[in-house]
Amino acid sequence: MKRLALAFTLVACVDGCAVHHTYQDITGSGRGNAQLQMDTGRCNMMGSQAAVQQQALQNNNCSTKGNCAAVGFANGLAQGAARNETFNNCMQAAGWQVVGP
């Protein structure tokens, strides 16, 4: 139980320390904050779907409690990476460039 609590704490810390970026419209169309919010929402949805698909690809067979914790932690990292990569690619495809942290 202590390992599960530690793993949850680590994931919460990593998730809570996410960097929030500032974006710039690189299309030259002069799009504003309203369009940025709509594109961010759409890209968040796509990122969430990618995380679910990544979870479906993972093999969750585990034979011991320690093995299950390790598999679960690795799955969580893979899902987060899939979500972030999809979100970033979506924003770039929509014409938004990161200009600050």
Residues 6+ apart with CB under 8 A from 84: 47
Which pTM value belongs to this model? 0.69
Residues 14 and 8: their CA atoms lie apart, in Å, by 10
The pLDDT tens digits for 12-59 are 545 555 677 899 999 999 999 999 999 999 999 999 988 887 766 555
Beta-carbon-side half-sphere exposure of residue 37 (alpha carbons within 13 Å): 3
DSSP type of residue 25:
E
Q: Token pair of 14, please? A: 């990593």
Whole-number percent of the chain with pLDDT over 70: 68
CA dist., res. 76 & res. 9, Å (int): 13
